[in-house]
Structure 1
Amino acid sequence: MSSSKMETEDCKSILENFLLQTLEVNLIRLQWQDYAGVIRAISKPRAIVMDQILSGQPFEAGEAALSHGYDGSVLPPTPNRHYYHMYPDFSSLRLTPDSKTAVLMCELKHVEPGYLLDENDELCPRRALLAAVKALDKKFDYSCTVTFEVEFLVMRKEGKFHRAFESLRLGESTTSSLRDPLFEHVEECIAHLQSQGVSILEVRGGGRKGQFQMLLFPLRPVQAVDQLVFVHETLKTVFASHGYVVCMLSNPFGNSLDAGEESDFVHPCLNVHLSRSQKNRDKEDKFFAGIFKRLPSICAFCLPHRLSYRKQDESDDELTFWQMRPRLIPIRWLESWEIPCVDGTANMYLALTAILKAGYLGLLNSEPSVGPEYDPQDNKKLAKDEQLPQCLNDALRALQKTKNLSIDGFRSSMIDHYIQIKRHEMYRDAVYDDIDKEEEVRIVNFS
């Protein structure tokens, strides 16, 4: 039996066993995350999916699958735009909270009628992350696990989006936050996530009204991001069913939008922890030196929106939030490194690929280790290409100038496409001005 036929039989067996245990499932959702960080999906009846798997017929995603801006606009057609085939990963198979739809994360392959394109033209973020993990393991025997600490704000709509002010603001990790009426819905989310194999290490109230934090179990990079996507979607779905919305953006209001009775600065909505190497600390030093050196470029992926850089006030001398914290923070009790300059709305397949590739280059070039602590007041004393970006445009310039993440598995074509998407979004924001700031917050947070 050929390997492809064996894979088809394995997929069929996995799906059949799953569906036998979930008879209420009517639809199977094939989904992917685009360059704007938006989860996109095509739902098909279960019988159709089974037939396509058995026949070997690919699932099609359309030509604009990876060409949308955050507002739903599409890049103008280009000569090299082709259709995509979707290849579901059955290890990601899970149920939605209503138990009526099964969800599969997919990889995308860029195709032209009659043949697959060259690997250099591949644009799939998930495939890029897989390649980055394999490259690190193959060349340097280096691997790590990823732990996500998900932070989210629960809000409700009353004309504009507001925080859920039923919450008591008494500081982080208080028992009062666990008595909050909203926590009942957090528990509902946890129950469903655990039923679908998501391991949660801890849950606590955040330091803001309506804010909660959830620490997920460490996993290998691709599986960790698959899990993160599922957690985000579950939180949004469950709270929406109760009339609330969940915010993943680091600073949704700033001073320019109405946040109700307060407009304070909000903690980042995603903390990323990379495990420390127990085998070889010398490799670890070089790996994180590579990340440290390339943070300005990495920020283009980790802080993907104009709103990601909103300042605490409008003073030209005020540093962005990310410049008020160390660039890399060693968390000893977790035996991990925290990378704080990450926004909860980022496409983490792309962001983690950029982070791992930066570490790869640190190992490849045997780059000297650097101290993790960073004094933000010294930012202006650093060389210009070492300074953290003040805005998305700065981050994109750093990425475009260096292209220093473009190696195997993370092609220059992917970086060019990402920059093109972001420039397209910025152009629409500046020229068309067809969405106001309130609408921009809504789209970025809740899509």
Structure 2
Amino acid sequence: MPPQVDSSLLSVFLESNPGVKFIHYQFVDLGGVLREMIVVAAEAMVHASENKPHNVGCVPLRMLPNGHFSPRFVGVGKEYLWPDWSSLRLARFIGNGKTHALVMCFVDEGMAAGNVYTGTISCPRSILKRAMESAKSDGLEFLIGFETEFVLLDKTRSDLEPTGITAPTSWCVAAAMQHDGVSGVGAYEFVTAPTSTMEAIDEQIYIRQAIQTISRRCGFRATLYPAPFGAGSTNGAHCHLSINNPTVELANNFLAGVLERLPALCAFTLPVHDSYYRVSELKGQTGKWVAWGTENKDLPIRGILNRVGYWEFRSADYTANTYLQLAAWLTAGHLGVQEKIKLRWKDCDVLLAFCTAEQIAALEVDTLMPASLGESLKALQQAIDERKLLPLGEEFLNEFIVHKRAEDEIFTKMPELERRQLFTTIW
């Protein structure tokens, strides 16, 4: 069946915000690109009152970032956007902040060949919703917070040089967005308070749009791309994830489930060629080993001191579809709980870059992080073959691999500067 949405929330919202004339129906495609259709508020109200979705043809999920189509794209049929009205909010960064609103949508692919309803099999928001509901059925609920790192570029230049904090109007951006600074020339960071999983992602997508819009207004171009300067300063999308009231055993099982599948999960969380500039040691990024450590920022997972079931997941950036990213992490952790996977990896309280092979082995650390998207996709294919991520849906997983392999083939061959110039305009 199509998604069930509460359309009464729209009428209440419009009564409280009578100046709203346009509603941006938004979703994130398989390649991590935010897409939208702008609908007149009156038309949205008609659709909502009749409990009808918005027809968007047959394109939504399968377009590559450069505008080409995925090999799985079929130019036949109709697809629909079902707004999740619980995510509706004013777009305060557009115009006077009172005429535009944003809503995140489920993508309903309707009827496939043979009139079989395929619906939301590949819809990222639906996949996350199913993962959350499955986890909740076993008593697992989460709080999520994000660190949003970005760099300000001079929008009048094409050489991708960062601007410094002393640039005349960079203070305009800082004041407008109340930033929290990080290391790096022209580098900034926003930190969001913990909230429920879906709400946290919706909020983070809103913040990214606000950052980029306000920056343009102030004469800059903001990018969240992981490696806007190649091997130079990088942007991460660190995620703080905590389980509500876990036992030590449950928390360890959850963490073990994620670590066991971490190379495969990188296909979702480090999903483009340049994501792998961040897979390095001694830079406070993701580290090179599949490992974790309390207050160790040179590893993919940092445990939080004196907190059970609370971690910072560091092996992600904002080219990821964040709905799929969280769905993958929650599914892996949930499987760890269901299967009672033992946490064999020791708590790494040292920098592995300075350890001998014997010392690393003593910490039960024996697997390197993927060094490329190709390696991550190979690990994901192995996980599918070994049936280690089946709750995400085998049909969706196979589709995702085809989509990302097509991207990787195109963008690995693209000249580096051309690729970075393209992607810093998208992310």
TM-score (norm 1): 0.81
Tell me if 1:406 matches 2:389. Answer: yes
1:251 pairs with 2:227? yes
User: 1: distance between equivalents of 2:152 and 2:218?
Assistant: 11
Are 2:331 and 1:367 aligned? Answer: no
Could you say if the C-alpha distance between residues 117 and 437 of structure 1 is closer, same or farther in structure 2, counting changes exceeding 3 Å? same
Match for residue 346 of structure 1? 320
1:205-244 superposed matches below 5 A: 205-244=181-220
Query: Which amino acid in structure 2 is aligned with residue 399 of structure 1?
Result: L
SS of the equivalent of 1:162 reads coil
Identify the range of structure 1 (420-429 vs 342-351) with the bigger mean alpha-carbon deviation: 420-429
Q: Could you tell me whether the CA contact under 8 Å between 1:63 and 1:82 is conserved in 2?
A: yes
> How far is 1:164 from its partner?
4.2
Question: Which residue number corresponds to residue 88 of structure 1?
Answer: 83
Could you tell me which residue of structure 2 aligns to residue 58 of structure 1?
53
Q: Distance in 2 between matches of 1:307 and 1:157?
A: 21
**By how many angstroms is 1:130 displaced?**
0.8
Q: Equivalent residue for 1:27?
A: 22
The 3-state SS of whatever aligns with 2:370 is coil
- Whole-angstrom CA distance in 2 between matches of 1:238 and 1:204: 16
| In the alignment, structure 1 residue 109 sits paired with structure 2 residue 108 | yes
Matched, 1:420 2:394: no
Who is 1:197 aligned against? Answer: none
Deviations 1:50-82 (A, max 9, x none): 111122322123212110112121124556975
- Residues in 1 aligned to 2:168 and 2:72: alpha-carbon distance in whole angstroms: 49
CA shift in 2, pair 1:205/1:318, >3 Å: closer
Contact 1:163 1:210 in 2 (8 A): no
Q: d(CA) in 1 for partners of 2:222 and 2:196?
A: 26
| 1:322 maps onto 2:318 in alignment | no
CA distance in 2, matches of 1:78, 1:20: 40
> Is 1:441 aligned to 2:420, yes or no?
yes
What amino acid does structure 2 have at the position aligned with 1:331? I
4+ residue runs over 6 A deviation: 317-320, 378-385
Give CA-to-partner distance per residue, 1:229-258, whole Å, 9 cap, x none. 111111111111222111112221125xxx
1:152 aligns with: 150
1:187 corresponds to 2:187: no
Q: Any idea what SS the aligned residue of 1:420 has?
A: helix
Query: What percent of counterpart residues are identical?
Result: 23
Pairs aligned (count): 400
CA contact (8 A) 2:62 2:73 kept: no
Distance 1:79 1:31, change over 3 A: closer
Sort the Cα spacing of 1:187 and 1:293 in 2 relative to 1 into closer, same or farther, 3 A.
same
Whether 2:13 is the aligned partner of 1:18: answer yes
- List per-residue Cα deviations over 1:383-415 (Å, max 9, x = no partner): 99932101110001000112155333x101111
Between the aligned partners of 1:294 and 1:318, the Cα distance in structure 2 is 24
Alpha carbons 2:264, 2:376 under 8 Å: kept: yes
1:321, distance to aligned residue in structure 2 (A): 5.0
Whichever residue aligns with residue 141 of structure 1, its letter is: G
Distance 2:333 2:262 in 1: 11
1:390 aligns with one of 367, 371, 375: 371
| C-alpha distance after superposition, 1:158-185 (max 9, x if no partner) | 43143443425xxxxxxxxxx9842432
Deviations 1:21-70 (Å, cap 9, x if unpaired)?
33332211111000111100111111111111122322123212110112
- Residues 78 and 312 of structure 1, relative CA distance in 2, 3 Å threshold: closer
Q: For 2:80, what is the secondary structure of its paired residue?
A: strand
**Residues 331 and 68 of structure 1, relative CA distance in 2, 3 Å threshold:** same
Q: Structure 2-normalised TM-score?
A: 0.84
- Would you say the 8 A contact 2:226–2:275 is kept in 1? yes
Matches of 1:422 and 1:11, distance apart in 2: 35
Q: Offset of 1:356 from its aligned partner?
A: 0.7
Kindly provide the amino acid, as one letter, of the partner of residue 205 in structure 1: G
Answer yes or no: is the 8 Å Cα contact 2:154–2:163 preserved in 1. no
Distance 2:412 2:189 in 1: 34
- Cα-Cα RMSD: 3.1
Contact 1:302/1:351, CA 8 A, preserved across alignment:
yes
Match of 2:264? 297
Cα distance in 2 for residues equivalent to 1:107 and 1:414: 15
Q: Which residue of 2 aligns with 1:275?
A: 242
Structure 2 vs 1, CA of residues 184 and 136 (structure 1 numbering), >3 Å: closer, same or farther?
same
CA drift of 1:276 comes to 4.4
C-alpha change, 1:333 and 1:384, in structure 2 (3 Å) is closer
Does 2:140 match 1:142?
A: yes
Q: Secondary structure at the match of 1:145?
A: strand
Structure 1: stretches of 5+ with no match in the other structure: 169-178, 191-202, 256-263
Q: How much has 1:443 moved relative to structure 2? A: 2.8
Question: Could you say if the C-alpha distance between residues 79 and 146 of structure 1 is closer, same or farther in structure 2, counting changes exceeding 3 Å?
Answer: same
Q: CA deviation at 1:211?
A: 1.3
State the SS of the aligned residue for 1:214.
strand
**Are 1:320 and 1:390, in contact at CA under 8 Å, matched by a contact in 2?**
no
1:245 and 1:362 map into 2 onto residues whose CA distance is: 42
Q: How does 1:29-48 map to 2 (within 5 A)?
A: 29-48=24-43
CA deviation after TM superposition for structure 1 residue 218, in Å:
0.7
Distance in 2, matches of 1:418 and 1:320, equals 29
Conservation of the 8 A alpha-carbon contact between 2:254 and 2:337: yes
Matched residue type, 2:352: D
